[in-house]
Amino acid sequence: MSASSPVIYVRYNIPEKYIEKIKTLGATVLFEPWQFGKEEPEVHCDLSECDVILTLGLMDPLTIRNKAPKLKWVQSLSVGLDALLHEETINSNLIITNTKGCTSIPIAEHTVAMISAFARGLPAMLRNQQTRTWINTAIKDLDGATLGIVGYGEIGKEIAKRCKALGMHVVGCRKRPSITSSSDPADEVVGLDEVDNVIKNADFLVLALPSTKETYQFINKKKLKLMKSSSYLINIGRGNTVAEADLLEVLTKQQIQGAALDVFEVEPLPSEHPFWEQENVIISPHNAYYSPKSMDRYMDIFLENVTRFKEGRELLNIVNKDLGY
């Protein structure tokens, strides 16, 4: 795999300065941004020599692949590859890379904000402010509270690092718990076979799971009923890892204290969805990943990968298409 002068089709509206940086690497750039959420546009460029596509794997199913017979590599500007990974791409020789690691810090900061908001009663305070009601709200100490992180990877480690500074006891839960180091910020790292215990003991349960066949509706009625009645759920992973109807039921019955949700089964979240009405729910529009530095981080990886692609070296962040991440 090498190309002295790669032809790159860009389907995401990246700033012009990055287009120029790509060109300085000796690449030919074809630029037709797709505003994701709107109907897929027609391709007007000649993709017969295209060997690289830069797109958003979360939204782009790559139906245009047949127009690019020489395509070798797709760089996704999202970590999630919900649309991009399907039978055709999985069974192909196509190399797919993503932006793993670029969003870990902003997602961790967002998660800490949600944990702190619930602990200090901010949702209730903001409602009271609107009605000019002076009344105390329920408060929970973070010092000594237990945080369970299901899907403990790079994002989980950044969350753990910050929550340890708040005096929390952090338990990570992941598929391969043996891959640890002495510098790991969590107090414990356990396997998914112990996930029920993690859920039972957590005062705050954070979901950072990828979207795979195994994680589809991983958090369902059975697992939600294991949670403490005083606990909170925070999902910054993938929307389809939670059975939303089951979550709505336990929230409505106040069987858990609340939930902070950044991701949903359907996005944007429909205006008629009952989650909007729940006083014990904080909704964010799938922007936990966002930072003013996000695009710089994404493009640093892509520019490095373009150089590696030209030189025939292994790319950064190659996705295991069978695992889905």
Q: Which residues are catalytically annotated? A: 238, 267, 286
Long-range contacts, stretch 170-178, CB < 8 angstroms, 24+ apart: 170/146, 171/146, 171/147, 171/198, 171/201, 171/202, 173/148, 173/149, 173/198
Separation between Cα atoms, residue 267 and residue 274, nearest integer Å: 14
Task: Name the token pair of 185.
Answer: 């910020």
| 112 and 165 Cβ atoms separated by less than 8 Å | no
Residues 115, 117, 123: CA angle, nearest 5 degrees: 135
Paired strand residues for 252 = none
Long-range contacts, stretch 21-30, CB < 8 angstroms, 24+ apart: 21/299, 21/303, 22/302, 22/303, 22/306, 25/303, 25/306, 25/307, 25/310, 26/310, 27/52, 27/306, 27/310
Among 39, 34, 10, CA closest to 22: 10
Separation between Cα atoms, residue 169 and residue 158, nearest integer Å: 14
Q: What does each C-alpha distance from 148 to 170, 185, 203, 269 come to in angstroms?
A: 6, 13, 8, 26
Separation between Cα atoms, residue 204 and residue 149, nearest integer Å: 9
